[in-house]
Structure 1
Amino acid sequence: MFLPLKGLIVLEFSQYLSGPSAGLRLADLGARVIKIERPGGGDPCRKLSIKNLWVGEDALNFHAINRNKESFTADLKNPADLELVKKLIGKADVITHNFRPGVMEKIGLAYTDVQKINKRIVYAEITGYGRKGPWKNKPGQDLLLQSLSGLAYTTGDDGDGPMPFGLSIVDSICGIHTVQGILAALIRRQKTGMGAYVELSLLESAISLQFELFTTHYHSKAGIKRSAVSNGNPLLGAPYGIYKTAEGHIALAMMNIPELTKALAIEELARYTQADVFAKRDEIKAIISEKLLTQNNAYWLDRLKDAGLWASEVNDWNVLRKTDLYKSVQMENTVSINGREAYLTTRCPIRINGERLFSDKPAPLLGQHTQKIKEELL
């Protein structure tokens, strides 16, 4: 199939997760993404192993984030290498980087510098907390951003300590925002011929991710409080949350309390109405929680389904992979490494004209494509 970004060249100076995750999605959509890496080390994520899993000499997670890309090594402090990179910039459509404020300026590759080389360039810069302000030099690391931004108070129950998400949610959402900004700038360039400077920060992405929570906080005198029982979302009333049963767990979404009372045959709930789901949230959820312990998942899910109420089992990854639902979406993507070694990862979640986007192009070895790129583009 003809991918929509085919023909675009992206120079990725980014490292770790936020910028490279944006590059991954651009590559999946057809762009030629070239990682600009320092000789001898490259993207530090190459050596940041998760659970001590490796593919060749690089960490497995580096492969997951950087498949479908090329690697060009250059010492940006070396005038000759810097000159080569500037020539590449002249051929590129997009640049991404997530260095701390001031790093690219010292090298001579700030947006104003790059604009002189290529006025049509779309230049996307990610920082931790913005280019200016009291936090500009703080390390922009995902757990720190979750902690600073309030995200750690969205999960867990009231009375628990702050609880972070079990994944790099801020890096990931900032990568998504970066792709959105880049695509918007490319559309503008198509119309006007003008490039753009796209600026993001992890903090702003973390706050934006919580737009419902912040908007509620701005207007709620009582504030936002997590449920003390089976908290699923601090903004939603009973019964929203995950509950333990006699054998496993089930999730209950938004539903009418009188209908739930009838479906589960809980006499104690009869005194509550839909008007009570916020003011008496924890009382209602405690009653539901006690009742659900008396039967297994299948029993309760059958009754909820018969009543037309929104509920589901709670799967771990092993269970999910065995389901027909998981198999039907075909999210698994096998990537071969030099025809000898392979690893399993996920594919791009976007479908275009009904086609799923798979890729078997592995993450590059450090500097693997330097000579090829010199021959083709310089």
Structure 2
Amino acid sequence: MLDAKALSGLRVLDLSRVRAGPACVRILADFGADVIRIEPPPGVDPNEAMFAADRMSGDFQNLNRNKRSMTLNLKYPEGRKILYKLAETADIIVENWRPDVKERLGLSYDILKDINPRIILASISGYGQSGPYERRPGFDQIIQGVSGLMSVTGEAGGRPMRAGLAVADVGAGMYAAVGILMAVIERERSGQGQWVQSSLLHSLIAMLDFQAARYLNDGDIPVAVGNDHPTSSPMGVYKASDGLFNLGSSGEGTWQRLCKIIGSEHLIGMPEFANERARVQNRATLNQVLDPIFAKHGVDHWVTALNEGGVPCGPVYTMPQVFEDPQVQHLGVSKTVPTSVGVDVTVITQPVKLSRTPAEVDSGAPQWGEHTDSVLREAGFSDDDIRAFAEKGVV
């Protein structure tokens, strides 16, 4: 019999919208936290189509599986009182409003900690909780531009290019989840909660990692280089006789192994390819040598031969090919789960593996307000109270 899930016993009130917040809370839900997704009743938020309307879409189901859902209109005083009541026994509240919204609703950390000193409030914003941009709306692609990511993405000499995934949203959500877990651990010592903050802007600059560090420490301004690696060569996308593959020949040992595998050991002693810096500077010349060699065989040949020889190499897949790959299937990257409306959905599982208390995806995302009555009863409200809330539009 499995032990309790890693986060069993933690209750999370999820006030978040769209992607960054739900991506954060999804991690907590998958590891066993009791997550209550709190949403405005239908028709209250003019932007509800962005975060709540299509409950059965793959995106919504993937973001919000393993959660319960209740409706609550926080514009009503009664709605805020209900949230305060829920906060008394909650461990974590997650929101990704603009910073001024929680102040206006009376849901700042200072107010919440007076209700429950152990509460952990996680706030995810576009630009941070203070500063000249604090009230700007933070959208993923906008942050990709402001962070500098787009300046290093795309073909060399071309226009800046966005990444093909919501990297700022998901990155900020993951950093917030790490912060929440740090606060939970610290609370075991102090008995006190705290305010956890992450922003799309800071998170994405942090994820730029070596690209940003190159500029800060070396004055080296990174630019877009397409599929080539900015500081290593040969490293990028190459064309085989029947398709494309990625080659990662970084470092002298790997470079020498590559030369032996392709039958071109004479390249090792050539001055223009003598070290990593030289190979980067002479990348075009090196590729002119490699391209006709790689064109002699298919992708499968090179993927097998290079990996067996200790040179990282892999195919460039379409999405269907990704989920047909035997290693992806072995890892259990996707899982089909039931929903409360009797339709199964397939979601992406957690990439973090724990040997004793693993994450589990047990159910799809809830219907809008599916658990409102049960959550309110758990909080001590009577059926008469619940009917009165519904009649007034509080829930």
Q: TM-score, normalised by structure 2?
A: 0.87
Please tell me whether the aligned partners of residues 8 and 93 of structure 1 are also in contact (alpha carbons under 8 angstroms): yes
Paired with 2:195 and 2:358, the residues of 1 have a C-alpha distance of 31
One-letter identity of the residue aligned with 1:274: N
Q: Is the 8 A contact 2:113 2:119 kept in 1?
A: yes
| DSSP 3-state at the match of 1:173 | helix
1:315 partner letter = Y
Q: Which has the higher contact order (CA 8 A, sep 6+)?
A: 2
Counterpart residue number, 1:259: 257
Counterparts of residues 205-220 of structure 1 (less than 5 Å) = 205-220=203-218
Aligned CA distance change for structure 1 residues 202 and 305 (closer, same or farther; 3 Å): closer
Which of 235, 239, 242 matches 1:244?
Answer: 239
| Alpha-carbon distance between aligned partners in 1 of 2:341 and 2:70, rounded to the nearest angstrom | 22
- 2:348 equivalent in structure 1: 346
Normalized per residue, which structure has more strand? 1
Quickly say closer, same or farther: Cα 1:291–1:268, change in 2 above 3 A. Answer: farther
- Distance change >3 Å, CA 138–CA 175, structure 1 → 2: same
Q: 1:203 to 1:88 in 2, by over 3 A?
A: same
Q: 1:319 aligns with which of 293, 300, 321?
A: 321
1:273 paired residue number: 274
Cα displacement (A) at 1:123: 0.6
CA drift at 1:6: 0.6
Which consecutive residues of structure 2, in runs of 5 or more, have no partner in the other structure?
Answer: 381-395
The match for 2:188 is 190
Instruction: Note the aligned Cα RMSD (angstroms).
Output: 2.3
Q: CA deviation at 1:339?
A: 5.6
1:46-85 superposed matches below 5 A: 47-48=49-50, 58-85=56-83
Match of 1:125 in 2: 123
Give 1:109 shift. 0.7
- C-alpha separation between the residues in 1 aligned to 2:285 and 2:110? 59
1:334 aligns with 336
In the alignment, the residues of structure 1 paired with residue 195 and residue 58 of structure 2 have an alpha-carbon distance, to the nearest angstrom, of: 32
* Amino acid in the other structure paired with 1:128: G
| Higher mean displacement: 39-48 or 211-220 | 39-48
SS at match of 1:341: coil
- Following TM superposition, by how much is the alpha carbon of 1:105 offset from its aligned partner in structure 2, in angstroms? 0.5
Structure 2: how far apart are the matches of 1:222 and 1:37? 46
| Distance of 2:367 and 2:235 partners within structure 1 | 47
Q: Percent of aligned positions with the same letter in both sequences? A: 30
- Give the number of equivalent residue pairs: 370
**1:273 to partner: Cα distance:** 1.6
Matched, 1:171 2:197: no
The CA deviation at 1:34 is: 0.8
Decide whether the 8 Å contact of 2:5 with 2:358 is kept in 1: no
